[in-house]
Amino acid sequence: MDRTNQRDALQELPPAYFQVGHTAICVTDRQFQHGYQHGYAHFKRWWAKRTFTDYTLYTFLITNLMNAHAPNRENAGYVVGWMAALLEHQQEQEQAEPMPTDEQKGAGGEYASHLLHGAR
């Protein structure tokens, strides 16, 4: 890291709290905060409607963590912000579309739910 990036990384900001799933992250680093905000916004703008595979996620993580055009701390913040938006999106989808019951799925009806609960 060059001296400019090092000085920037050491400049602390007033704490900002970001929610990732059920966990709050206290961020005081300018580069991490900047990356987080961009990653979060980019997911919401460009990624929210996509279907992901393990390859998609692997490629995203490696590409963005190794981005030579931004400082490492910013790259880490970008990935964390993107993942926070992904988790938030998942929770929104679960609230909007409740999981179907066994009967609705046609997966064996009443018998299948008894198997899950260990009773028959």
- pLDDT tens for the chain, residues 1 to 120: 445 555 555 567 788 888 777 788 888 888 999 999 999 999 888 887 778 899 988 998 899 999 999 999 999 999 999 989 988 877 666 666 665 666 665 654 444 444 444 443
Stated pTM of the model: 0.64
- Residue 8: CB partners within 8 Å, gap ≥ 6? 30, 31, 71
Domain tally for the chain? 1
Q: Which sign, positive or negative, has the C-alpha torsion 93, 95, 96, 98?
A: positive
Q: Alpha helix (H) ranges present in the chain?
A: 3-10, 30-42, 54-65, 72-96, 102-105, 109-117
d(CA 1, CA 110): 61
The boundaries of the domain holding residue 57 are: 3-117
